[in-house]
Structure 1
C-alpha cells in the first residue's frame, strides 16, 4: 500500500498543530484505517522511549508518541526521525533515529539538512508503505522564509509525498485571517497548490460572526476554510512545550486538598508527564518560578532538566534552593525526577563536558557522575516497602521510562551523623531520605500509572482511549470537508 498523506501545518508555533494531528489520527483510526503519525523534525525536551528497528530503545517527541497511541499504532523512531533537545538558547542535542548524535549536534543548523534528509525520507516512505494514512505534522510555520532553503520538516516533506495540507491558525490570539493569508502568500506557487484547507482553531464565540471572512479568504487564495474548532479546555492531553497554564489544574473545580508546586526551570524536560495531576479531583498544580509559589505547597516536584547544572544555578538565583530546603525541613514532600533527582544530591560531577559541575541541594546523600553515553530504556517495576509519606506506593506495579546521562550513587559517608540513614529501596533507581519525605528517582511517567494516582489520592483520571474517542468525534463535528 501507499498511504495517503495528510499534513497539518501552522501559521505559528502554538497554533495547535500537534492537537489537530492527534485528533486526525484518532479520527482515521475510528474509520477503520491503518494510521501512523510522522514529524520529520521536532524541537522539544518532551520525549518518550520507544523501540528502534534493531530492537534497542530510542527517543521520539512526546507529541508523536501520543499521536501513535491515538492512531492505534505501536510508537517507533521512524515517526519522529529527528529530535532536537535544546540545552541552551543556541545549542541542542540532536537525536537521529532515536539515538543522540554528537557529530550532528556539533554542526550548525543549516549544515544538518543534507546529512539528515535521506534518513527522514526513508522513515516516511517506510511508513507510507505500511499504512493507509500517514498524518504528518509540520513545525513552526512553513513560511519561515529565512529557513526555507534548509527546510526538512515543512513544505519539503509535503512535496516529497504530495501531501494534502491543512493550515491551522490560533484564532484566539486575533489576526487569524491575516496569518492564514500571509502564510499562504509567502509560499511559492507549487507549495501553495498543496494547501487544501484552512483551519481556525481555539475559537470562542458565535461561529456565525465569522462570515464573510472565510468566503473572502477563499476568493483571494482558492483555499476553503474546512474547520472551525472550538476552544478545548481540559482536553486531557499535555499542553505544548513551554505552556504553563493553571486553567483546569484545580481538580475539575472541586475544593483543593493538595497543592503541588512543580519547579519550572528554564530547561525543564518531560513536563508532559504531569498532565494526569491536572485531572486529579482536589489537586492544584502550580508552575513555580519564585519562593512565594512554593510557600503554601504540600508537595514540591523537581522535574527533569536538559541542563541540570545550569538550572540549579537558576534556582539559586531565584532563591528557590532555600525554599525547597525549607519545605523539606518541615517534613513536607519533595520529589525529584531524573534531573530533579540529581539536584537533590550533594554534587554533580562532569568529566566529559556533558552537562556541567555543580553543588547539589544536599537533601539526599547522593553524587551524580555524568557519562558520555545516554541511558534510554523502558522499565517494568514493582515498588518495595517505602517509608513515611511514600508508603502508600508499596507493592504498586509501574510502567516507566528513563532518559539520562547521569549515574547516581548513595554516599553513606556524606550522611550528617543522622541516626537513621537515607536508603536505596530500588538500587540505582530510587532513593529516600531518613525522614521519608524526600524521594528521588530516575523514572519518568510515574503519574501516568493509574495505580499511583489511586494509591496517593484514591482517585481515577480519564484514560487516553476516552480522550482519543472524544477527539475523533470532534473531527466529525468540526470539519465540513473530510480530508
Structure 2
C-alpha cells in the first residue's frame, strides 16, 4: 500500500488550511478509505497527548489530533513529527516525534532542517505505507522565499510525497486573487505543476459576482479555481492559533453566564475551550485588562507555555488584583495547568525550564510549583472527589483528559488551606469557589458540560460530518475523487 497524497497549501496563515484538511480527512474516510493526516512541522502551543513511536506518550499539534479523529485514525506522533511551541518571540521548545529535544531547540532556525528532515521523511513514508490516502497540511505559505532553502513543511514535503496540491486563500480578508497569483508566481515551474487547483475560502455572498476573476486567473496561471467555500461561522473546530482564536465569542442568545478567560501572551491549549463557544447563552470574553473581568461570573486562568513570564504580565496589567477581588466576592475562579500554578503561593523555576526565576503566585490556593527538566506528557482518566460550593456539581464526576506540564505542584506548608479533590491533580479552596486543575480537557467531557451548564456541545463526529458535507458541496462532483485518482 502506497497512499495517494493531497496537500493543502495556503497563501498565508489563517487561510483555512487546517479545517479544510480536516474536512478532506472525513470525506475520504467516508468513502471507506484508510486515511491519515500529516503536517511535517507545526508551530503552536495547542498540543495533544498521543501514542509515541515506541511505548509511551508524546505530543503533537492539536490540529493533527483532530484531523486524525476526523479520519477515524488513531492519533500518533508520526502525523506531526516536528512541533515548535513558542516560549518567547525568539525561542521555541522543539518537540521531535513527540519528545522535547533540547539540542534541536538550541540550534538556529535554518540549521535544524538537515537534522530533522530524515525523521520527517520517515514518518511520512511510514504513514503512506499503511494508508490509502494521506492528507498533508502545509504551514504559512509555500512562497516564503526567505525560508525556501530550509523548508521541511511545504514544497519539500510535496515533492517527496508526489502530492497533488490545493492552494487555499482567505477571500474574506481581501486581495485573494493577488495572493493566489503572487504565490503561484514565486513557485518554481516544477512546483507550479503540482497545483491541482485554487480554493477561495470564507466567501460571503453570491459566487457569480466573482466572475471574471477565476477565469482570468486560470488564463494567467493555467490553474483552475476548483471551489468557492462559504464562510463557516462557528464550524465547531478550535482555531489552530490560540492568539487568533482569542476573540470574544457568543451565540447571540441572551447571556446567562459570562466566562472571562485571561489571554496572557504565551497562552496554551486554548483549543480545550472550544465546547464553551457552542453553549447557547454563554459568552466568552478574552481578558487582557481588568475592565475585561468586570461582570464576569467565572474567571479562567488557562495553560501557559511561559508561566512565570505570563504571571509577570498578568501583574503588570493589574489583573492579579482583579482576580483576587473576584475571588473575595465569592466569584468562581478556575485555573488549568499553568493557571493552577499561578493560583498557588510560589512558582519556582530554578533550572530555567521555561523562565528561570522564582515568584509569588496569586495566593488563592495553598500550593507550590517547582519546575524540573522531566516533562509530564500522558493521558489521564480520573474521578473527582467531593467538592464544595460553586464547583459542587463536579463531585464524583469521571473525567478523561491529559497532562502536559513541566511544573510539579504540591501543597504548601502554611499556605491558604486547600482540599485535594483529585490526588495530585486538582485542589479547591476552603470557600469552594476557587478550583485548580493540572488536567486539560474538562470541557470536552459531555458529563462535565451537563453538570456545569445543563447541556453538552455538539459531538466532534457531528462537526466532522458537517465540515465534510460543506466542503464536498463546494466542489463539482467527481473533483475530490479525481485528486486521488479514483
| TM bracket (short chain) | over 0.9
CA contact (8 A) 2:246 2:263 kept: no
How far apart, CA to CA, are the structure 1 residues paired with 2:468 and 2:56?
A: 32
State the match for 2:152 in structure 1.
Answer: 152
State the match for 2:212 in structure 1.
Answer: 212
CA contact (8 A) 1:218 1:225 kept: yes
Q: How does 1:15-414 map to 2 (within 5 A)?
A: 15-241=15-241, 242-244=243-245, 246=247, 249-250=249-250, 252-355=251-354, 356=356, 357-414=358-415
CA contact (8 A) 1:33 1:132 kept: yes
How far apart, CA to CA, are the structure 2 residues paired with 1:308 and 1:351?
A: 13
State the match for 2:421 in structure 1.
Answer: 425
CA contact (8 A) 1:244 1:287 kept: no
How far apart, CA to CA, are the structure 1 residues paired with 2:237 and 2:28?
A: 18
How far apart, CA to CA, are the structure 1 residues paired with 2:190 and 2:361?
A: 55
The alpha-carbon deviation at position 30 of structure 1 amounts to 1.1
The alpha-carbon deviation at position 414 of structure 1 amounts to 2.1
CA contact (8 A) 1:41 1:139 kept: yes
The alpha-carbon deviation at position 411 of structure 1 amounts to 1.4
How far apart, CA to CA, are the structure 2 residues paired with 1:348 and 1:306?
A: 14
State the match for 1:466 in structure 2.
Answer: 462
The alpha-carbon deviation at position 50 of structure 1 amounts to 0.2
The alpha-carbon deviation at position 245 of structure 1 amounts to 5.6
Q: Alpha carbons of 1:115 and 1:361: their partners in 2 closer, same or farther (altered >3 Å)?
A: same
CA contact (8 A) 2:8 2:166 kept: yes
How far apart, CA to CA, are the structure 2 residues paired with 1:60 and 1:212?
A: 42
The alpha-carbon deviation at position 253 of structure 1 amounts to 2.8
Corresponding residue pairs, total: 476
How far apart, CA to CA, are the structure 2 residues paired with 1:31 and 1:214?
A: 30
State the match for 1:418 in structure 2.
Answer: none
State the match for 1:440 in structure 2.
Answer: 436
Gapped regions of structure 2 (runs ≥ 5): none
CA contact (8 A) 1:60 1:80 kept: yes
TM-score, length-scaled by structure 1: 0.97
Gapped regions of structure 1 (runs ≥ 5): 416-420
SS at match of 1:228: strand
SS at match of 2:414: helix
SS at match of 1:243: helix
How far apart, CA to CA, are the structure 2 residues paired with 1:428 and 1:376?
A: 15
The alpha-carbon deviation at position 304 of structure 1 amounts to 0.2
How far apart, CA to CA, are the structure 1 residues paired with 2:129 and 2:309?
A: 44
Over 4 Å off, 4+ runs: none
How far apart, CA to CA, are the structure 1 residues paired with 2:181 and 2:5?
A: 23
The alpha-carbon deviation at position 475 of structure 1 amounts to 2.3
CA contact (8 A) 1:30 1:472 kept: no
CA contact (8 A) 1:410 1:423 kept: no
How far apart, CA to CA, are the structure 2 residues paired with 1:475 and 1:440?
A: 40
How far apart, CA to CA, are the structure 2 residues paired with 1:91 and 1:40?
A: 19
TM-score, length-scaled by structure 2: 0.97
Q: Alpha carbons of 1:95 and 1:228: their partners in 2 closer, same or farther (altered >3 Å)?
A: same
The alpha-carbon deviation at position 476 of structure 1 amounts to 2.1
CA contact (8 A) 1:7 1:165 kept: yes
The alpha-carbon deviation at position 246 of structure 1 amounts to 4.6
